[in-house]
DNA sequence: TCTGGGGTCCTAGGACCC
DNA sequence: TCTGGGGTCCTAGGACCC
């Protein structure tokens, strides 16, 4: 049996841990540029605030209902997530961290409601975060069990452990809520008369293969109780890393875009170094405002290659600049840009190209020093001049909460 | 006025190899 | 009139996830 722990309304719950007076109050967390709603407390959901809704569209609703609004604070959420995962690791031999707020667990020993309740209480007590736990024979079924646990149980725990129970649940489970069935597939399935998870489980496999590719077959297998997705306990290296942002306003100013691209590039390099990997390829893209339907859309992008795989900020920024010069067109106003590095390998396996001209040993030392200083002094304290100084492209985060657990100056003060 | 960001996997088709 | 067979790698686009 596999278990799935899922933190309830994770970002909203993180904010609430440090603001207990917001208990039972509507809370929302906004995306990077205070743009869209990406997390809601149950009270906010009850007000009809939808996932992904642009914040400006619900301004009056927010004011009228005194909804507490927060900008994303990934330093805080990442740290709380880490704490939750560490607790799970003390309780289980095999834990797969699936996302910032979810983990699969090996429940092959003692798969019981009591054990799950114990885990749930422990996480609540140690971190303040409420979680739901679903237990079932396959990952796809644990997703369903978890959904039931969250929505319909008092204890926040649910187990799917026999065929009759499984079929009964699947029979009333909408196909679009099944893990791996998105909007497109759901539409296709409904047109074919498949509306529930049970109907999908019993559907013709050949038809599924033809219409949903092998992904569909895997989902069907899992619904039948046969494991296809195994527990992945050691994490494999990242295949791509990206940094992309929308700008505060559309611009065709080369220098502003250049500053942004260089910042994204060195951020990608930093992420590569943190993962101990290097990349062979770099993609730079620009985008016009996709919401403006009356203007011409332009989405240029280009991929360039390194002869030797690298995670060096200078090299990656230089390459990004080269790419930008090729795709930039001053007749367009760009709203968004990004840098993606891919084709990665572990840094220990890098082979030096015959035409290498850089003293890589020296560069690695330099990067190490820069990273060490920035770790202590704060992000980008030492940076490339090409990143610029004004950050004109950057948007505001007006509702940012303190980094209670990662910045010493932000730590809570308690009056006794 | 204001609309996020970061990932993975699969498939078809093209280019190439022997 | 007739024009092989067996592969790999890469890319773009599509679908999905959180």
Residue A60 structure tokens: 């009056």
Per-residue flag: A399 CB under 7 A of strand B: no
H or E element, residue A216: helix A205-223
A342-CA/B6-C1' distance, Å: 13
Q: Following DSSP, what letter does each residue of A330-352 receive, concatenated?
A: TTS-EEEEEEEEEEEEEGGGPPP
Provide DSSP, A274-296: HTTEEEEEEEEEEE--TT-SSS-
- Average pLDDT (A339-353) is 92
Mean pLDDT of A106-116: 94
Residue A219 confidence (pLDDT) above 90? yes
Which residue, among A129, A135, A128, has the nearest Cα to A153 in the 3D structure?
Answer: A135
H or E, element range at A70: strand A68-71
Cβ of A31 near strand B (under 7 Å)? The reply is yes
By the 8 A CB rule, do A259 and A307 touch? Answer: no
Distances (CA, A) of A110 to A2, A91, A114, A135, A147: 11, 12, 9, 11, 21
d(C-alpha A322, C-alpha A369), whole Å: 26
DSSP type of residue A395: P
Rounded CA–C1' distance between A152 and B9, in angstroms: 32
Domains of chain A: 8-75 (3.40.1170.60), 77-223 (3.30.70.270), 240-387 (3.30.1490.100)
Q: pTM score, two decimals?
A: 0.94
Rounded to whole angstroms, the distance from the CA of residue A69 to the C1' of nucleotide C3 is: 70
Rounded to whole angstroms, how far apart are CA atoms A133 and A125? Answer: 16
pLDDT at A356: 84
Q: Residue range A367-379: average pLDDT? A: 94
Q: What is the pLDDT of residue A313?
A: 97
> Measured from the CB, is A240 under 7 Å from any atom of strand B?
yes
Q: Convert the pLDDT of each residue in A40-88 to its tens digit.
A: 999 999 999 999 999 999 999 999 999 999 999 999 999 999 999 999 9
A282 vs A411: CA distance, rounded Å: 39
Nearest nt by C1' to A289 Cα: B3
Separate counts of helices (H) and strands (E) for chain A: 13, 12
């Amino acid at each position: 049996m596999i278990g799935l722990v899922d933190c309830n309304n994770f970002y909203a719950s993180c904010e609430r841990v440090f603001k207990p007076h917001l208990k039972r109050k509507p809370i929302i967390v906004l995306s990077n540029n205070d743009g869209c709603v990406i997390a809601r407390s149950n009270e906010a959901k009850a007000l009809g605030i939808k996932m992904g809704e642009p914040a400006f569209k619900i301004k009056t609703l927010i004011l009228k209902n005194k909804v507490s609004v927060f900008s994303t604070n990934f330093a805080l959420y990442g740290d709380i997530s880490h704490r939750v995962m560490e607790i799970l690791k003390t309780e289980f031999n095999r834990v797969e961290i699936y996302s910032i707020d979810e983990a699969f667990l090996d429940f092959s020993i003692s798969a019981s409601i009591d054990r799950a309740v114990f885990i749930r209480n422990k996480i609540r007590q140690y971190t303040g975060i409420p979680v739901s736990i679903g237990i079932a024979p396959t990952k796809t079924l644990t997703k369903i069990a978890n959904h039931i646990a969250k929505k319909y149980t008092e204890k926040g725990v649910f187990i799917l452990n026999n065929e009759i129970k499984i079929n009964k649940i699947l029979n009333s489970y909408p196909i679009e809520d099944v893990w791996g069935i998105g909007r497109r597939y759901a539409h296709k399935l409904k047109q074919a008369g498949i509306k529930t998870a049970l109907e999908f489980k019993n559907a013709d496999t050949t038809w599924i293969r033809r219409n949903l590719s092998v992904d569909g077959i895997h989902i069907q297998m899992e619904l039948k109780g046969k494991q296809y997705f195994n527990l992945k306990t050691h994490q494999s290296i990242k295949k791509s890393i990206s940094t992309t942002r929308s700008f505060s306003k559309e611009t065709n100013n080369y220098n502003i875009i250049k500053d942004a691209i260089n910042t994204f590039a060195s951020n990608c390099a930093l992420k590569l170094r943190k993962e101990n990997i290097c990349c062979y390829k770099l993609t730079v893209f620009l985008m016009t405002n996709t919401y403006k339907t009356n203007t011409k859309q332009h989405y240029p992008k280009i991929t360039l290659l390194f002869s030797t795989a690298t995670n060096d900020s200078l090299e990656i920024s230089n390459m990004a600049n080269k790419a930008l010069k090729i795709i930039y067109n001053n007749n367009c106003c760009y709203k968004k840009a990004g840098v993606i590095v891919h084709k990665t390998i572990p840094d220990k396996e890098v082979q030096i190209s015959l035409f290498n001209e850089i003293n890589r040993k020296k560069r690695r030392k330099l990067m190490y020093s820069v990273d060490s200083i920035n770790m202590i002094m704060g992000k980008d304290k030492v940076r490339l001049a090409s990143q610029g100084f004004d950050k004109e492209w950057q948007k505001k985060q007006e509702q940012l909460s303190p980094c209670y657990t990662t910045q010493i100056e932000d730590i809570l003060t308690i009056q006794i």
